[in-house]
Structures are given as C-alpha cells and as structure tokens.
Amino acid sequence: MKRALVLTLFLLSITTFFAQGNLQFNQVITSAFASGNVTPVTVPAGKVWKLENCMLNSTGNSYTYMLYNGVYYNLRQQGSSSQVANFPFWLSAGSTVTFGAGGASGGAISIIEFNIVP
C-alpha cells in the first residue's frame, strides 16, 4: 500500500514538472490571401495556431509562399504535383507569418486556433 502511494506521488510530480500547459480549442480561422497583396499576421499571445490546409486559386502546378519568422516555405496545391505540403504546421504565440508572399496565385489558409491553458 505504501509503495503504491509513493509511486503515485512520484508520477504526479513528474507530470507537474514537465507539463507545459494544455491546449483548448478557441476558433477556426479561414483567411483568404492574394499574392502581391500581403500583410504579416502575428499569432496572439496565449494562443497557438495549427495550419491545417492551404487551397490555391489556380489549377495545375500552382504554388505560393509562406514567410514564417523570416524563412520562406513553399505551399503547393495539394494533388497538383508529387510534392505535397506538410500539414499540419504549428505556429507558436508571437510568431509572424505572411501568406501569399510570392508565387503564382492567391488562395485561402485553414487555421485552428487554440488557447494555451496553464
């Protein structure tokens, strides 16, 4: 009995020390963008974004770029080539991202926003 209590307390202390908070669903964001007409967006404090999918206006082998913290990432129309976008893509609080930062087309990005609950 004493051994079970010690083990339980040990396991609780480990999860307390390594826990970094929970994620709580907040909202779904669908944001349209156009290449050449871009505005940087910052993930709000206390939130994280999960990019789910990118849909582009063009058909065929179309692409656009996402500028994330100063680095360009190629977003390609899914199913249009052998290169498929790697989704989901997580963005932390305070991150700056620009959708449609170059390339051939505009489109829309699907985002799930979560609250960080301590």
Domain positions in the chain are 21-117
Residue 84: its pLDDT value, please?
43
Of 72 and 51, the one with more pLDDT: 51
Predicted structure pTM score: 0.70
Question: Which CATH architecture fits 21-117?
Answer: Sandwich (2.60)
For β-strands 63-68 and 96-103, DSSP reports them as: antiparallel
CA 49/CA 97 separation, integer angstroms: 11
Q: Which of 1-5, 41-45, 77-81, 90-94 has the lowest mean pLDDT?
A: 77-81
pLDDT > 90: percent of the chain: 27
CA 34/CA 62 separation, integer angstroms: 13
